[in-house]
Amino acid sequence: MEDLRIIKTEYSEEMQKSFIDYAMSVIIARALPDVRDGLKPVQRRILYDMHELGINHDKPYRKCARIVGDTMGKYHPHGDSSIYDALVVMSQKFKKGLPLVDGHGNFGNIDGDGAAAMRYTEARLQKVTQETFLSDLDKDVVNFVPNFDANEKEPEVLPVRIPNFLINGSEGIAVGMTTSTPPHNLSEVIDAFKAYMNDPEISTRELMKFIKGPDFPTGGVVTNKDELLEIYETGVGKVKIRGKVEYEKVKGGKTNVVITEIPYPMIGMNISKFLQDIATLVETKKTQDVVDISNQSSKEGIRIVIELRKDADAENFVNLLYKKTRLEDTFGVNMLAIKDGKPETMGLRQILQANMDFQFDIATRKYTNLLAKELTKKEVQEGLIKACNIIDLIIEILRGSKDKTMAKNCLMEGKVDGIKFKSKESKVMAAGLNFTERQANAILDMKLYKLIGLEINALINEHEETLANIFRYEDILDRRDSMAQVIINELEQYRKEYGTPRKTLIENAEEATYKEKEIEEMDVVFLMDRFGYARCVDIPTYERNKDAADAENKYVFVCKNTGKVCLFTSSGQLHTIKVIDLPFGKFRDKGKPIDNISNFNSANEEIVYITSQTQLNLRQVIFVTKQGMTKIVDGGEFDVSKRTVAATKLNDADTVVSVMSLLEQRNIILQTKDGFFLRFSIEEIPEKKKAAVGVRAIKLNPKDEVEKVYYTRNLIESIIQYKDKPVVLNNIKPGKRDTKGTKIRV
């Protein structure tokens, strides 16, 4: 057993080193694509494994479970779900501009429904993947590295012949960094790549004559064309994108808003969220133009139909959707990828430069390999042609040799010892032979039918073709222009076969502006019952049902339909509600819980007082707390834009007992839990700011607290019931603020 060594090190240093190692592992080996092939490791390994399994585009589909299992066992030692998810995404046309996998079965949809389990689905490579991603792996064009357990070899990068990093884009989250590259049109990218190869000094602005901007599989409209130049120069920015909207006239003079293309970020469950957002706009009365919403999307494409009222302004409504929903969204661009083994954010020129260097590297290795093979063929062919010219001598050597080694030595070095010849001339000729080892082996392996005249002619023609190939390959390797032209010719072929028209429109659009319809101002009556259900009715409706309304509701007051309702709570908060957000209708219509239309939380606080903002602005407000603190605040201080603000400052463990608008009240009576009543003039209460605690209204015994607050007016008798005994408030002995008051015994 080896001796164990304990290494002492600084904890922070070890943590820092370990975290950096972990972060780099995630960055390099999982989350970020390589700028050369535009693939993350899991994607690269899936495609290579399918290539190794022979699951080509012209072969039958194979179960995804087989592909995932083989990839995981050989190359990618991570969870099967992550491998399958990557496989699914590479097959989804609505996520990838150029799908790399041909999926068969349920591979999910644009609405966000997931793919079926891998045991049900099947897949194979797309033709474009075979031709542009995997075709030259047998020509030593990329390096192969050991897999995780060193039992297999895998390509360090795939020999992708097109700038896939731009074409398919990429999204990933690493440790401390993210990549987010939008997809682009294959034809445009190839055109820009060709232009860059012809002129590496070309500017980003000139390149954008070819690449107009992102081309999302879902279409849509990019609305910030003028900002794209900076994005492509820096590799960072935000692309604003809208869905495509059409207007359809229907019977009755109505207009339907039809969404036929969605913003790329809306893919998935965000379509459902979009429909919910429209419903919320209707429920909150942000718009009253919507009659019906239906999602009629199918395999043929997106079709979301919003039916509007006859008099609705359709364009204004669409602007509302742009402002309040994800029909207008942003795609955050951060073109980050692995370059030379390190993560780097690149602009368009840097990406094309990296791809050009990669293409030249691939072509150099490919044609070096092909040249070596052609030179070998040339050597063999020259030997066979020479042998055919002296075939009688060759046959004589073979018949006169004792074994293959003797014959081979004669062919290569002219050794004739031990070989029986028919004549001295033959022996002299044999002594002058100097075939190479490769030529000698080819001669010894040559079959007799090769001596037929037509076969000899075919050999000569093949030799001429080999010489032409050698000349061509040497020209490609010696002259950069020749190699560049070969690469450009291949790109043009791919463009012709796999190019598609642009789907996303690029333009400069004005910012969406929505004009809210002006509401005709009118008086309405606010009603809230003891269960907290609130609503509004018009004045005539209230007057017809006045007795029932007053009896059934805890709060009843008149307010403006354009105004606000103010809720003061025991926790010292003020919650405001727009009257327009309250249900408005018939008297017997059910209201909405006040919790649902405000920030008020009935679990943590109680409503102490409710009034309208209009009334509050014209009056002063009296506060009384459980610990006996009081103050008067000008109602105008509560005219705020926020939905919730602090209405008063409270001491620890204190709560608000009473809030009341001051109108004709003259005296205030405080009732404590222990039965003390203190009556004093309201004039003794000072006016304070809402942020103040106030002054002491009553001296309380230990553990006593203010329980109720009453107000009286001059010449108007007020009677309450206290422990089943009537108490005339006007008869309570007047006192002074900050005294104990009178104890009433029953």
For strands 221-222 and 505-506, give the pairing: parallel
Secondary structure (DSSP) of 229-249 = HHHHHHSEEEEEEE-EEEEEE
What's the token pair of residue 573?
Answer: 């908060």
- CA-to-CA distance for 557 and 638, rounded, in angstroms? 18
Q: Are 448 and 388 in contact (CB under 8 A)?
A: no
Residue owning tokens 């691939």: 362
3 state DSSP class of 611: strand
- CA-to-CA distance for 528 and 610, rounded, in angstroms? 10
Residues 6+ apart with CB under 8 A from 276: none
Give burial (CB, 10 Å; 0-12/13-18/19+) of 327: buried
- CA-to-CA distance for 31 and 670, rounded, in angstroms? 68
Query: How many alpha carbons fall within 13 Å on the CB side of residue 113?
Result: 7
- Inter-helix orientation angle 348-389/391-400, to 10°: 80
What's the token pair of residue 153?
Answer: 């070899």
- CA-to-CA distance for 38 and 132, rounded, in angstroms? 12
Q: Are 613 and 655 in contact (CB under 8 A)?
A: no
Mark whether 514 is an active-site residue.
no
What's the token pair of residue 626?
Answer: 């459980």
DSSP 650: -
What's the token pair of residue 388?
Answer: 């055919």
- CA-to-CA distance for 711 and 662, rounded, in angstroms? 10
Distances in whole angstroms, Cα of residue 652 to Cα of each of 572, 626, 646: 12, 11, 15
Instruction: Find the catalytic residue in 120, 196, 322, 449.
Output: 120
- State which H helix or E strand residue 576 sits in: strand 573-578
- CA-to-CA distance for 228 and 187, rounded, in angstroms? 19
Q: Catalogue the active-site residues.
A: 120
